[in-house]
């Protein structure tokens, strides 16, 4: 087989790139290690920046998102049983949208299949060959049979554990990582959200977040030790702990019920440099990970897709390689700013095992400054709604 771009990874970033390329008449084949049902079963974040929304619309898959998504003009910060609001629209003129990543992926699959775009599922043993030459190719196994795709470029959208990043030699690749000493216990429940907006809560007992997927589906999180297991937390224990960490007004109106999904996610900050090697380009979690505090995971992947999509368009439609040559540098400039924001929010809102009394006072002062300063609120809003591409 031959195509112009092989996309390794059939999650939202790989699918979004495939659809954007399709709209520009650029051929691609998507390789996915798992099944479609498995990919759609993964529960992920659901806050989309304006840039991501615009890319979905440009890819022709924004109709259901615009009809069913929840536009959010701000968010709530709670500490010491006090709540204040950051107004995104007032500070930046731009809202965000709550629309689950599963729904994003479902919309992209539907569009890809409708357009007849090729997706190969259940691939194993993917190897990226000759990425530093003008004739890269990818081999993979399906049901014990090896296949080969010759191509012009390879987009590695296969996540932290995928093969794409590891294809770049250790002598070329630098990795930067911070592991946080806690995780997030998250639950999904078929209950109405406790508030119309997200509540980020700093509590002496640890961080909590009240979020939602729609009017009857809520997503809640509490900070927990990395040594905890999901089985350690009954539904009753989770709801009791959440109530202890959020403001009393919210706790009093919280509607609880059986959880339909429960998981614990560790938190880390991670960046690899460079994000390209020859004709191989890394996108999303293959190149970087952020803690979920700032809602940047899928959105940072979207910015990578924006830069790569435009670079490939310039190559094929304009005969220019300026975007391709500068992809890594341009993508990393924005990624490190998103990493900084997620790191800042994580430090602002969580309890750390080694925090001293001085550290806690500094954290309280930082929250008070954010509450009282128009400039600080503007900076937070600018970062939360998404820095420009």
Give pLDDT tens digits for 302-359.
999 999 999 999 999 999 999 999 999 999 999 999 999 999 999 999 999 999 999 9
CA pair distance 59, 115, nearest whole angstrom: 12
pLDDT of residue 374: 98
> Is residue 87 assigned to a domain?
no
Q: Model-level pTM?
A: 0.95
CA pair distance 322, 336, nearest whole angstrom: 22
> Is residue 79 assigned to a domain?
no
Residue 122 CB contacts under 8 Å (≥ 6 apart), including other chains: 32, 33, 34, 35, 142, 143
> Is residue 89 assigned to a domain?
no
Q: Take residue 139 and report the two structure tokens written for it.
A: 């081999």
User: Both 124 and 156 in a single domain?
Assistant: yes
User: Both 149 and 52 in a single domain?
Assistant: yes
User: Both 148 and 16 in a single domain?
Assistant: yes
> Is residue 237 assigned to a domain?
yes
Query: How many structural domains are present in the chain?
Result: 2
> Is residue 78 assigned to a domain?
no
User: Both 99 and 198 in a single domain?
Assistant: no
Q: Is 292 a catalytic residue?
A: yes
Q: Of the residues 292, 309, 315, 330, which is catalytic?
A: 292
User: Both 246 and 376 in a single domain?
Assistant: yes
Pick the closest to residue 152 from 9, 24, 3 (CA basis).
3
User: Both 64 and 136 in a single domain?
Assistant: yes
CA pair distance 244, 367, nearest whole angstrom: 19
Q: Is 95 a catalytic residue?
A: no
Q: Of the residues 109, 180, 200, 316, which is catalytic?
A: 200
User: Both 363 and 305 in a single domain?
Assistant: no
Q: Of the residues 288, 296, 313, 330, which is catalytic?
A: 296
213: pLDDT strictly greater than 90: no
CA pair distance 238, 88, nearest whole angstrom: 30
User: Both 217 and 136 in a single domain?
Assistant: no
- Confidence at 43, pLDDT banded by 50, 70, 90: low
> Is residue 228 assigned to a domain?
yes
Q: Count CB neighbours of 48 within 10 A.
A: 26
At 228, give phi and psi (nearest 5°): -70, 155
User: Both 283 and 189 in a single domain?
Assistant: no
End-to-end CA, the chain = 34
Q: Is 384 a catalytic residue?
A: yes
User: Both 115 and 156 in a single domain?
Assistant: yes
pLDDT of residue 45: 66
257: pLDDT strictly greater than 90: yes
Average pLDDT over all residues of the chain? 96
Domain CATH code at residue 228: 3.30.9.10
Domain CATH code at residue 133: 3.50.50.60
Residue 153 CB contacts under 8 Å (≥ 6 apart), including other chains: 4, 5, 6, 136, 279, 280, 281, 312, 324
71: pLDDT strictly greater than 70: yes
User: Both 244 and 284 in a single domain?
Assistant: no
Q: Which domain holds residue 310?
A: 2-73+94-178+268-348
> Is residue 371 assigned to a domain?
yes
Q: Is 353 a catalytic residue?
A: no
Q: What is the mean pLDDT of residues 30-43?
A: 87
Q: Of the residues 109, 309, 316, 384, which is catalytic?
A: 384
- Confidence at 38, pLDDT banded by 50, 70, 90: confident
**119: β partners:** 30
Q: Is 243 a catalytic residue?
A: no
User: Both 343 and 364 in a single domain?
Assistant: no
Helices 101-114/12-23 angle, 10° precision = 40
pLDDT of residue 39: 86
Q: Which helix (H) or strand (E) holds 345?
A: helix 327-349
> Is residue 203 assigned to a domain?
yes
């Amino acid at each position: 087989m031959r195509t112009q771009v092989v996309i390794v990874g059939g999650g939202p970033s790989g699918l979004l790139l495939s659809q954007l390329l399709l709209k520009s008449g650029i051929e691609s084949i998507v390789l996915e290690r798992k099944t479609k049902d498995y990919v759609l079963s993964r529960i992920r974040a659901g806050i989309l920046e304006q840039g991501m929304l615009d890319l979905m619309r440009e890819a022709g898959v924004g109709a259901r998102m615009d009809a069913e998504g929840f536009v959010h003009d701000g968010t709530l910060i709670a500490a010491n049983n006090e709540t204040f609001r950051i107004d995104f629209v007032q500070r930046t003129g731009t809202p965000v949208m709550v629309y689950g990543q599963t729904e994003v992926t479902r919309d992209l699959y539907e569009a890809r299949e409708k357009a007849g775009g090729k997706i190969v599922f259940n691939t194993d043993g993917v190897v990226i060959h000759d990425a530093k030459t003008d004739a890269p190719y990818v081999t993979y196994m399906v049901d014990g049979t090896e296949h080969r795709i010759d191509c012009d470029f390879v987009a590695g959208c296969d996540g932290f554990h995928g093969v794409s990043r590891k294809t770049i030699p250790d002598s070329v690749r630098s990795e930067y990582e911070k592991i946080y000493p806690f995780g997030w216990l998250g639950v999904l429940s078929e209950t109405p959200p406790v508030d119309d907006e997200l509540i980020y809560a700093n509590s002496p007992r640890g961080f909590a977040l009240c979020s939602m997927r729609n009017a009857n589906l809520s997503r809640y999180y509490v900070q927990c030790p990395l040594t905890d297991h999901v089985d350690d937390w009954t539904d009753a224990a989770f709801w009791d702990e959440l109530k202890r960490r959020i403001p009393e007004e919210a706790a009093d109106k919280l509607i609880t019920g059986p959880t339909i999904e429960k998981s614990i996610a560790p938190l880390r900050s991670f960046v690899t440099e460079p994000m390209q090697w020859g004709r191989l380009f890394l996108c999303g979690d293959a190149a970087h990970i952020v803690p979920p505090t700032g809602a940047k995971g899928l959105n940072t992947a979207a910015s990578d897709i924006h830069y790569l999509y435009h670079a490939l368009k310039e190559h094929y439609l304009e005969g220019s390689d300026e975007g391709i040559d500068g992809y890594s540098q341009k993508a990393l400039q924005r990624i490190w700013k998103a990493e900084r924001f997620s790191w800042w929010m994580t430090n602002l809102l969580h309890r750390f095992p080694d925090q001293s009394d001085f550290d806690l006072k500094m954290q309280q002062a930082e929250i008070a400054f954010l509450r009282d300063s128009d400039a600080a609120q503007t900076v937070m809003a600018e970062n939360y709604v998404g820095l420009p591409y």
